[in-house]
Chains A and B, each alone.
Chain A
Amino acid sequence: MTNDTANIPYSDESILAVRGMNVDIRVPAGTLHAVTNSAFHVDRGETLCIVGESGCGKSITSLAVMGLLPGNATVTADVLKFEGRDLLSMSQKQLSALRGNRMGMIFQDPMTSLNPVYTIGNQMQEIYVRHGKGNAAQAKDRAIYLLEKVGITAAESRLGQYPHQLSGGLRQRVMIAMMLMNDPVLIIADEPTTALDVTIQAQILHLLADLQKEFNMALILITHDLGVVARIADRVAVMYAGYMVETGSSDEVFNAPMHPYTQGLIDCIPIPGKTERGALLGSIPGIVPALVGDQEGCMFRNRCDFAQEVCGTGIIERKALGEQRGYRCVIGPEQAQANLQASRAQAAVAAGE
């Protein structure tokens, strides 16, 4: 495959830099191309949001960075660097020295992500002691400090509690505090609020955003909630069927989405005060295609209102609009914006009827 992501610049200071990353998974039916030619990077103090619907490769991307993919997955990349060091050439042992230490990960379901048979204190202290940061007593002090930081009251007494004694929201706070034990430079949060009550979701996201600023970390937030992205992202990468179909700063992507998929996603967000009560919310018909075997053309063409014949052949090249901004579509930027205006006008007419 021609690699059109290799030339996207990134700084030597970048915490994580990825260029041309592919993740292939061997399945009984063949090879599943879960991630194709992916490129992103994230700097200190910056929040990158990776968005897209279920099954488009967001979680696989994060697990690939952490080195947590199962044995039937193969990761290849032109660049996969964490703090300037090549992750691909590292042994499992070297990787595990980074995991939970320099980089932490927060998972989707806090109800099942903590070990039910060990106390909160045990699980928090373990990560600190394992990475040689200090003894059990120092770990305890650090755990109490962080539990308070994530807004848990009576922190010291929580250390003796088991996960099942805490609510989902509290458990996710514990997960966050645990992953902060060793002062990581990168936190990857994989849909950290999907499994929580709506009222708790906003609290957890604000907490993550605050902690990211306070500890000056790089944060990669994986979500399918564009409303969240609009509020906290510095930069956005939109994924579809294993491809990063559009990247750019949060402002650029929200103000002038280029890819029809991004346009569709943004128009699905209800806006308080603007979207009328009872009005039909936007949706993108169809589902993400199966990714087993070799694919040709644009993966989105079957759901796209603007699909043309050319969309079904070859590789859709990335159109660069600036140093970081780019998208993968045959439609040029002016035409893309015209299409967006036209479909918005059409939707407004439909809503007015």
Chain B
Amino acid sequence: MAQFLLQRLTISLLVAVTVSIIGFSLLRLSGDLAAELAGEDATAEEIAQVAKSYGLDRPFHIQYLDWVGKALQGDLGRSLFTNEPVLELITTRLPVTVQLATYSLILALLVALPLGVLAAMKQNTWIDRLALSIAVFGQAIPSFWFALLMILFFGVILRWLPISGTDTWRHFIMPTITLSTFAMPQFMRLTRTGMLDVLESDFIRTARAKGLSPMIVLWKHALRNAVLPVVSLAAVAFGFLIGGSFIVESIFAVNGVGFLALESIIRQDFPVVQSIVVFISFVYIVLTLLSDLINAQLDPRIRLN
């Protein structure tokens, strides 16, 4: 187990370094930052001056090392727009994003796991088809449109729920439903196929030959084997919910990291954008590591090899 952990940590560290280099260079490859910052009518002299004041005239690797060095000390630079420290900008917006992502993931799993298990047990019946229809609906419907429909129906017509902000738990209901509707189908499908595979396997026949009750066979012997891929997917999906909820955050005016990223891209606030890109990559790295550890806990073949 210790060896497994060390191996995973080393890989994570290598990925983190690679990702930070890519994240840092992508922004610089996207165009001349100094020219963008100086404005459309700026002269060559003015552009050179902007480049100098932001350190953009130095060689690329110096810029990178300088940025990494400061980042390791918690200094991600300042926003060009508000002049606030970038770290502070991100950390103040992170809790609400994480909160929303967590609710959405939990809701998605709470619906997907039982539905997937049920669909597998009742394969090719109307229950199975209903579950698949729900999955297709969730995958096909665009999030922004679904969000707008909900706002129209529950917010404007019925006036049951607030349509923007994050002041109370009621504000979270519609954004959570929107995000989990998007995440749920893939969990459901993976649970269903996983269960179908496992239910066919020899050790399930053994469990039944032991006279175990159908509930024990299903929840103890089958599900634990079937959820292994779901755990990996959930980690990726959680990262996506944190980093990819731009649209949902802006529709419901949730002042989170996604919203900040969107604002900063529009304002060409490059220190913020670059930090968010790298930050979200790190979130993925941590989540992947976490899912590996959970899977190792669930499956001794991973843990003990």
A-to-B contact residues, CB < 8 Å:
66, 68, 92, 96-101, 104-105, 107, 109, 112-119, 126-127, 130-131, 162, 164-165, 175, 178-179
Could you name 26 residue pairs across A and B whose Cβ atoms are closer than 8 Å?
Answer: A68-B205, A68-B208, A68-B209, A96-B211, A96-B213, A99-B211, A100-B209, A101-B211, A105-B209, A107-B202, A107-B206, A107-B209, A113-B203, A113-B205, A115-B203, A116-B299, A117-B225, A117-B299, A119-B300, A126-B212, A126-B216, A127-B210, A162-B300, A162-B301, A175-B206, A179-B209
Which 7 A-B residue pairings sit nearest by Cβ, starting from the closest? A100-B210, A100-B211, A99-B211, A112-B202, A162-B300, A115-B203, A96-B211
| Interface mask (B188-216 → A, CB under 8 Å = 1, otherwise 0) | 00000000000001110111111111101
Compute how far the CA of A152 lies from the CA of B296 in the bound complex, rounded to whole angstroms: 28
Instruction: Take A162-B300, A164-B301, A165-B304 as given contacts and tell me if A115 and B212 are in contact as well, using a CB distance cutoff of 8 Å.
Output: no
| Interface mask (B225-268 → A, CB under 8 Å = 1, otherwise 0) | 10000000000000000000000000000000000000000000
Can you add 17 more A-B contacts, CB < 8 Å, to A100-B211, A114-B203? Answer: A66-B209, A96-B212, A96-B213, A99-B209, A112-B203, A115-B207, A116-B225, A116-B301, A127-B211, A130-B216, A162-B301, A162-B304, A164-B304, A165-B304, A175-B206, A179-B209, A179-B210
Residue of A nearest to B298 (CB): A117
B-to-A contact residues, CB < 8 Å:
201-203, 205-214, 216, 221, 224-225, 298-301, 304
Compute how far the CA of A48 lies from the CA of B304 in the bound complex, rounded to whole angstroms: 41
Compute how far the CA of A100 lies from the CA of B216 in the bound complex, rounded to whole angstroms: 14
Q: Which residues of A contact B207 (CB under 8 A)?
A: 115
Q: Which residues of A contact B201 (CB under 8 A)?
A: 112
Instruction: Take A115-B221, A162-B304, A165-B304 as given contacts and tell me if A107 and B205 are in contact as well, using a CB distance cutoff of 8 Å.
Output: yes
Compute how far the CA of A104 lies from the CA of B211 in the bound complex, rounded to whole angstroms: 9
Instruction: Take A109-B202, A112-B203, A117-B225 as given contacts and tell me if A130 and B299 are in contact as well, using a CB distance cutoff of 8 Å.
Output: no
Q: Which residues of B contact A115 (CB under 8 A)?
A: 203, 206-207, 221, 225
Q: Which residues of B contact A162 (CB under 8 A)?
A: 300-301, 304
Q: Which residues of B contact A66 (CB under 8 A)?
A: 209
Compute how far the CA of A92 lies from the CA of B212 in the bound complex, rounded to whole angstroms: 11
Q: Are B203 and A126 in contact (CB under 8 A)?
A: no
Compute how far the CA of A66 lies from the CA of B210 in the bound complex, rounded to whole angstroms: 10
User: B210 is contacted by which of A117, A118, A126 (Cβ under 8 Å)?
Assistant: A126
Q: Which residues of A contact B225 (CB under 8 A)?
A: 115-117
Residue of A97, A114, A116, A131 with most chain B CB atoms under a 10 A cut-off? A116
Q: Are A116 and B206 in contact (CB under 8 A)?
A: no
Q: Which residues of B contact A113 (CB under 8 A)?
A: 202-203, 205-206
Instruction: Take A112-B202, A162-B304 as given contacts and tell me if A117 and B224 are in contact as well, using a CB distance cutoff of 8 Å.
Output: yes
Residue of A92, A105, A117 with most chain B CB atoms under a 10 A cut-off? A117
Q: Which residues of A contact B203 (CB under 8 A)?
A: 112-116
Compute how far the CA of A244 lies from the CA of B216 in the bound complex, rounded to whole angstroms: 37
Q: How far is the CB of A139 from chain B (nearest CB, A)?
A: 13
Compute how far the CA of A33 lies from the CA of B212 in the bound complex, rounded to whole angstroms: 29
Residue of B206, B209, B300 with most chain A CB atoms under a 10 A cut-off? B209
Q: Which residues of B contact A179 (CB under 8 A)?
A: 209-210
Residue of B206, B213, B225 with most chain A CB atoms under a 10 A cut-off? B206
Q: How far is the CB of A61 from chain B (nearest CB, A)?
A: 15
Compute how far the CA of A107 lies from the CA of B206 in the bound complex, rounded to whole angstroms: 8
Q: How far is the CB of A326 from chain B (nearest CB, A)?
A: 31
Q: Which residues of B contact A109 (CB under 8 A)?
A: 202
Q: How far is the CB of A130 from chain B (nearest CB, A)?
A: 6
Q: How far is the CB of A104 from chain B (nearest CB, A)?
A: 7
Q: Which residues of B contact A68 (CB under 8 A)?
A: 205, 208-209
Q: Which residues of A contact B202 (CB under 8 A)?
A: 107, 109, 112-113
Q: How far is the CB of B203 from chain A (nearest CB, A)?
A: 4
Residue of A97, A101, A115, A126 with most chain B CB atoms under a 10 A cut-off? A115
Compute how far the CA of A258 lies from the CA of B212 in the bound complex, rounded to whole angstroms: 43
Q: Which residues of B contact A127 (CB under 8 A)?
A: 210-212
Q: Which residues of B contact A92 (CB under 8 A)?
A: 214
Residue of A nearest to B228 (CB): A117
Compute how far the CA of A109 lies from the CA of B201 in the bound complex, rounded to whole angstroms: 11
Residue of B nearest to A124 (CB): B210
Residue of B nearest to A98 (CB): B211
Compute how far the CA of A5 lies from the CA of B304 in the bound complex, rounded to whole angstroms: 54
Compute how far the CA of A179 lies from the CA of B304 in the bound complex, rounded to whole angstroms: 27
Q: Which residues of A contact B212 (CB under 8 A)?
A: 96, 100, 126-127, 130
Q: Which residues of A contact B299 (CB under 8 A)?
A: 116-117
Compute how far the CA of A104 lies from the CA of B210 in the bound complex, rounded to whole angstroms: 7
Compute how far the CA of A248 lies from the CA of B172 in the bound complex, rounded to whole angstroms: 75
Q: How far is the CB of A171 from chain B (nearest CB, A)?
A: 11
Q: How far is the CB of B198 from chain A (nearest CB, A)?
A: 10
Residue of B nearest to A122 (CB): B220
Q: Are A104 and B298 in contact (CB under 8 A)?
A: no
Residue of B nearest to A105 (CB): B209
Compute how far the CA of A114 lies from the CA of B206 in the bound complex, rounded to whole angstroms: 7
Q: Which residues of B contact A114 (CB under 8 A)?
A: 203, 206
Compute how far the CA of A115 lies from the CA of B203 in the bound complex, rounded to whole angstroms: 5
Residue of B nearest to A110 (CB): B202
Residue of A nearest to B210 (CB): A100
Q: Which residues of B contact A99 (CB under 8 A)?
A: 208-211
Q: How far is the CB of B18 from chain A (nearest CB, A)?
A: 33
